[in-house]
Structure formats: structure tokens, C-alpha cells
Amino acid sequence: MTATDVSTSTSTAQHIELTERYAAHNYHPLPVVLAEGEGAWVIDVDGRRYLDCLAGYSALNFGHSNERLVAVAREQLGHLTLTSRAFFNDKLSGFAEALARLTGKDMILPMNSGAEAVETAIKVSRKWGYEVKGVPAGQASIITMQGNFHGRTTTIVSFSDDEVATSGYAPFTTGFRSVAYGDIDAVAAAIDETTVAVLFEPIQGEGGVVMPPEGFLRDLRALCTERNVLMVADEIQAGLARSGKTFACDHEDVVPDIYVLGKALGGGLYPVSAIAADRDVMDVITPGSHGSTFGGNPLAAAIGTEVVAMLEEGTFQARAAEIGDQIEAGFRPLVGNGLVGVRVRGAWAGIDIDPSLMTGRQMSEALMERGILAKDTHGSTVRFAPPLVASDDDIALLVTAVTEILTAG
């Protein structure tokens, strides 16, 4: 790896200037313009190499330009890319079967973005509430968690407590009750006869890789069963090997009623999302009651089928756990030495930097200068989610860089 020269080239400056001029400012990117990617590494327009420790918010679990996924996509491009669901296609059948097998559920409903899958889970839960549970018309409520991130649609930001995500977007969708993340007593107290679902992230990614207390997922499973409420796990970022297991719920051997999946389901090549549920829940969906032009298209389905095949081999889950051990061993000694907190689950880590030293943004900028890309969240927190193809040397580079920056800071 070559050391990164922080001076901004003309080419980099031009791309940034044009992007800022013509594309809405809904992100605050680091000043790097990427042009190539392979495995855990990306290359900018000036040829500088960076270790990608964000991995498209876990969409790139299998690495950039993963050979198997690219081969499948290329092959499918030569056949058929879109039919709409007005017709059947010869790839959705295999994808639906494979994803149902992976999740252990009877059926899937394919969509595109993560937010669409969350919206789907909300709609299915409400309809199940009315048609199966017998909730009075128009009164369904869903319990959500404080600190959540489930996407950016109007309905989803209606239950966000992030000022930036909500400000200026009222009026919001009603029917949600928010409780403290991981507080089983608060969930129990919030459930009443109108409650159709509890929507939660088994690990809050955007929140800074925050985990609920040990036992929460098991207790939530028992509570949802007892009170006839759907347990809806948003595994969009936490699932599909990132946490060291296929699903983050697996850490407590818990099976939710609805899995909400996205990001890595499309291998970082294509937006592919889905929910998975048993027939008694999914059967509330009838023709015309929900859908999407691109959902379940043959290109998405071909890629998704290969993603499932790769996950069924188990190697990515095992590698995520190994990476997690290395990250834990590297970051844990920094607590009290520049860090005030470290949370690691699989190849996923959130570090809380001592705010008197630097902000998370400053840490991300300093890492960029050293050829590592990561993303800050909530002021002094930085999360790391390298592709699961990262080598031991790559992870060692990350640990050394963070250690040196904290020491110098």
C-alpha cells in the first residue's frame, strides 16, 4: 500500500465541485473520489489505495467486485434483466426458494432498498394485525426502539428520534410507540391490544454498533409469542454474516416472525431487499396490495441466489468472527487510552473516542490520510465494518492506524 498524499488533485477537486453543484447535499462525504474497488480495497481517481472499512454500510460484506457475484451478474445481463411482476421469471423462483431456506421461513417478499423492505414489514404487520389478530380498524400500533435507524421514508422517519432525519418533514405517520432500546420491561409495558409488532435492530448500526443487553432478544421472543405480537427483526445491516453469524438474532438462538433483509443481499452490486415470514403472516398480502416494479427482477434474483449460496457455505460468517477477535484484541487496550468505549460483534465495531481528544469526523479524516476509509456517527463515535474478505494484515493496519492517531492526538 502506498502512503496517501492528502493534497487534493485537480481531478478530485473537479469531481467534488461538480457533485456538490449538481447533486443535493444530503450527505457529507470525506473528500475522496473513488474509481475502482477490489476485495477490501478501493482506489481513488489519483490512484491512491484505501482500505474500505465501511463496506457500503455492510452492503459489501463479500468485498468489492466479488468474482462469483460479478460472474453471475454478467451472465444474467446477457439473458434478462427485468420483467416486472406482471409475469413470472426464471430466476425469482430459485431466489425465493433459496432465501426461504436460509431464513427458515415459508415465503419471501422481494423489494429493492432497505427502506422499502422495512415499509413492507410495517404494512404486512398492520394487515396481519387487522386480519389475523383482530385489531380494530385503523388502530394498529407498532413498538419501535429509541436510537433506531430503519431508513429515510416519511413513515420510517416518523419513529426516528434523530433531529436531522426528521426536521422539516412533518406531518408524520402515526401508529408507533418508542421505548428504550433493549429495555424488555418498557416493551412489555407498551404492548396493548392494538400492538401488532415490535420492530427492532438486533444491533443498532447507525446508532454506533450498539447491542442490547444479553438476553434481550430471547426475552423479546418470549414476550412477542405470549402477547401475540410479531417480532420483526431489521437485519438489513446486522444480518448476512456481518456479526459473525448468518443473522444477528442467531447470537441468542432467536427466530423472529419477520426478517427484514437488504444491503448485502445484493452483494454490493445491485439493490436487493426482502422480508421473510411464514405463510400465516405473508398470506395477508394479496395481488395489488403491495409491490414494486423492480422487486424480484431476474438480475436481482440471480445475484441474491448466489449471495444465499455463499452464505450457506458459512465461510463469511466464520471470517467475520475471526476479524472480530482481531479487532477486539486491538481496540480493547485503547479503552482509557483515547477511547471511552468499544463495542465489537463480528467484523463490526463502534469506538467512542474521548471527546476531549477529537471528534469522530476528525478521526475519519486522519484515517483517510493513512489510507483507511471509515465513517463517524453521533459526534465522537466511529464504526468499522470492513468487507469480510479483509486479511489479517488489513485489520492490523486499521488497529495500528487508530492506535497511532489516538496517541498523536
What residues act catalytically? Answer: 149, 234, 263
Q: In what order do the strands lie in the sheet with 49-52?
A: 34-38, 41-44, 49-52, 372-373
Q: Give me the least distance between CB of 294 and ligand PLP, in Å please.
A: 13
As a whole number of angstroms, the distance between CA 345 and CA 203 comes to: 9
3-state helix, strand, coil in the chain (%, to 5): 40, 20, 45
Minimal distance, residue 263 CB to ligand PLP, in Å: 6
C-alpha closest to that of 30 among 350, 348, 382:
382
Of 49 and 152, nearer to ligand PLP (C-beta) is 152
| Phi, psi for 343 (deg, rounded to 5) | -130, 125
Close Cβ partners of 130 (under 8 Å, ≥ 6 residues apart): 137, 140
> Is the Cα dihedral 351, 354, 355, 358 positive or negative?
negative
Interacting span for ligand PLP (CB under 6 A) from 28-36, 85-93, 112-120, 138-146: 112-120
**242-271 binders of ligand PLP (CB under 6 A):** 262
Q: Which is nearer to ligand PLP, 205 or 208 (CB)?
A: 205
DSSP, collapsed to helix, strand or coil, labels residue 107 as strand
As a whole number of angstroms, the distance between CA 368 and CA 253 comes to: 38
The verdict on 294 binding ligand PLP (CB under 6 A) reads no
Check binding of 151 to ligand PLP (CB under 6 A). Answer: yes
Q: Does 234 bind ligand PLP (CB under 6 A)?
A: yes
| Choice between 187 and 236, CB closer to ligand PLP | 236
Does residue 57 bind ligand PLP (CB under 6 A)? yes
List binders of ligand PLP among 305-344 (CB under 6 A). none
Using alpha carbons, list the distances in angstroms from residue 391 to 13, 39, 68, 288, 347. 32, 10, 19, 47, 12
Q: Which of 76, 103, 113, 317 binds ligand PLP (CB under 6 A)?
A: 113
Q: Which of residues 113 and 326 has its CB atom nearest to ligand PLP in the complex? A: 113
Residue window 13-52: x/- pattern of binding to ligand PLP, with contact defined by CB under 6 A: ----------------------------------------
Choice between 205 and 330, CB closer to ligand PLP: 205
**Residue 201 in contact with ligand PLP, rule: CB under 6 A:** yes
Please tell me whether residue 205 binds ligand PLP under the rule CB under 6 A: yes
Taking contact as CB under 6 A, which single stretch among the options 11-19, 148-156, 182-190, 345-353 is the one that binds ligand PLP? 148-156
Cα angle at 189 between 114 and 210, to 5 degrees? 40
How many residues in total does the chain contain?
409
**Least distance to ligand PLP from the beta carbon of 346, Å?**
15
> What stretches of 129-215 show up as alpha helix (H) in DSSP?
154-157, 163-166, 184-190
Interacting residues of 87 by C-beta distance below 8 A, sequence separation 6+? none
Binding residues for ligand PLP (CB under 6 A): 57, 113-115, 118, 149-151, 201, 205-206, 234, 236-237, 262
